[in-house]
């Protein structure tokens, strides 16, 4: 597992109240750790300069200049807010304005800055598919190497006692892949509740039993419990279990070919997040 001597966190912002709440949550979550927060505003409305028309070029330059100024003003206001509300001495904020497509820009920053977590706010009424930064943000899930933490607008960090890891036991579990989850668990001495949802009540296959045993081995030094729910759909089961345990957040692995991927389709995602009161940590399958 990667050793986090200094945590690099990407905070995409559109200067909304929800984005600010996510920033506040991120500061509190990593309160006791040295961290660099890359506060990034992406000008997704920027106009390309590659045109031949002189008038069109001048217009695009004017639009981009205006967008740049608005972005810098927003970042300045956010930094002022952070300074006035107190920043931990071991926390560093780096404001940055970038242009380009949302996903490509996020991927570039993650690569160049060695980002460990991408943390963003969500609108509770719209779910992950409509994160504050716009519908493009949904494309980040499962398509960036860093862990993504989606923070509902009503979430306020009040400690980390228990986290739910919902899984299908169809993964080659590793401490490296689970690193972002385990790092937070260890920082807060939290308990991990592993949840398997057997919607079709088929029971575990031989390969799933083997995967579960391996996961138990990976977590043997951690504070963890294992649970199973059957006869309930994935979204409902994950939501109700997390709520019944009064857990502080839910963790999933973004995958293409299993039941949990339903959580990232519009209807299932809304069904989960509309009723979720806790942040959702999304890990990438390629890191396992």
Q: Name the DSSP letter for residue 277.
A: -
Question: What is d(CA 52, CA 131) in angstroms, rounded to the nearest whole number?
Answer: 36
Q: What's the mean pLDDT in 262-273? A: 46
> Do 139 and 234 fall within a single domain?
no
User: In the predicted model, is pLDDT for residue 133 greater than 90?
Assistant: no
Q: What is the mean pLDDT of residues 24-34?
A: 93
More confident residue, 78 or 138: 78
Query: Residue 125: exposed, middle, or buried by beta-carbon count in 10 A (0-12, 13-18, 19+)?
Result: exposed
Q: What confidence tier does 210 reach under pLDDT thresholds 50, 70, 90?
A: very high
Q: Which of 113, 128, 152 is the last residue of a domain?
A: 152
* Residue 157 resides in a domain: no
Q: What is the mean pLDDT of the chain?
A: 83
Q: Could you tell me if 91 and 194 lie in one domain?
A: no
CB 26 within 8 A of CB 37: yes
Which pLDDT does position 138 carry in this prediction? 62
Considering the domain architecture, whether residues 121 and 17 belong to the same structural domain is answered as yes
| Residue that is last in its domain, among 152, 175, 202 | 152
pLDDT of residue 125: 38
User: Residue 1: inside a domain, yes or no?
Assistant: no
> Domain for residue 2, yes or no?
no
Residue 49 has pLDDT above 80, yes or no: no
17 is a domain residue: yes
Could you say which of 118, 152, 186 is where a domain stops? Answer: 152
Say yes or no: 170 and 134 in one domain.
Answer: no
pLDDT single digits (tens) 145-158: 999 998 888 889 99
Q: How do residues 98-107 score in pLDDT, each as one tens digit?
A: 988 888 999 9
Is the residue at 200 inside a domain? yes
**105 lies in the same domain as 218:** no
pLDDT above 90 for 118: yes
Query: What's the domain count of the chain?
Result: 2
Helix or strand (DSSP H, E) at 209: helix 206-218
Residue 136 has pLDDT above 70, yes or no: no
Q: Same domain for 193 and 145? A: no
Q: What is the dihedral of CA 66, 72, 73, 76, to 10 degrees?
A: 180
Residues of the domain holding 201: 162-287
Its pTM stands at 0.86
Is residue 181 assigned to a domain? yes
The verdict on 104 and 189 lying in the same domain is no
CATH of the domain at 80: 3.40.50.620
């Amino acid at each position: 597992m990667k050793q986090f001597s200094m945590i690099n966190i990407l905070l995409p912002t559109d200067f909304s109240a929800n984005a600010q709440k996510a920033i506040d949550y991120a500061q509190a979550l990593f309160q006791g750790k040295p961290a660099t927060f890359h506060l990034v505003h992406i000008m997704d409305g920027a106009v390309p300069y590659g045109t031949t028309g002189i008038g069109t070029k001048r217009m695009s330059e004017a639009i981009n200049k205006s967008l740049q100024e608005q972005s810098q003003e927003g970042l300045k206001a956010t930094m002022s807010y952070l300074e006035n509300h107190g920043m931990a001495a071991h926390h560093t904020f780096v404001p940055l304005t970038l242009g380009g497509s949302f996903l490509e820009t996020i991927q570039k920053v993650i690569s160049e800055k060695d980002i460990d977590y991408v943390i963003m706010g969500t609108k509770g009424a719209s779910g992950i598919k409509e994160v504050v930064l716009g519908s493009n943000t949904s494309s980040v899930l499962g398509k960036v190497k860093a862990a993504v933490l989606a923070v509902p607008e009503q979430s306020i960090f009040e400690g980390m006692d228990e986290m739910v890891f919902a899984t299908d036991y169809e993964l080659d579990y590793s401490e490296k892949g689970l690193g972002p989850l385990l790092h937070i668990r260890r920082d807060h001495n939290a308990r991990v509740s592993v949840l398997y949802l057997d919607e079709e009540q088929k029971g575990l296959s031989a390969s799933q039993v083997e995967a579960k045993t391996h996961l138990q081995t990976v977590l043997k030094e951690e504070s963890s419990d294992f649970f199973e729910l059957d006869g309930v759909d994935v979204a409902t089961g994950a939501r109700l279990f997390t709520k019944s345990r009064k857990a502080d957040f839910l963790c999933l692995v973004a995958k293409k070919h299993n039941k949990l991927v339903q959580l990232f389709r519009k209807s299932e995602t809304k069904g989960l997040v509309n009723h979720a009161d806790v942040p959702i940590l999304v890990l990438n399958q390629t890191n396992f």
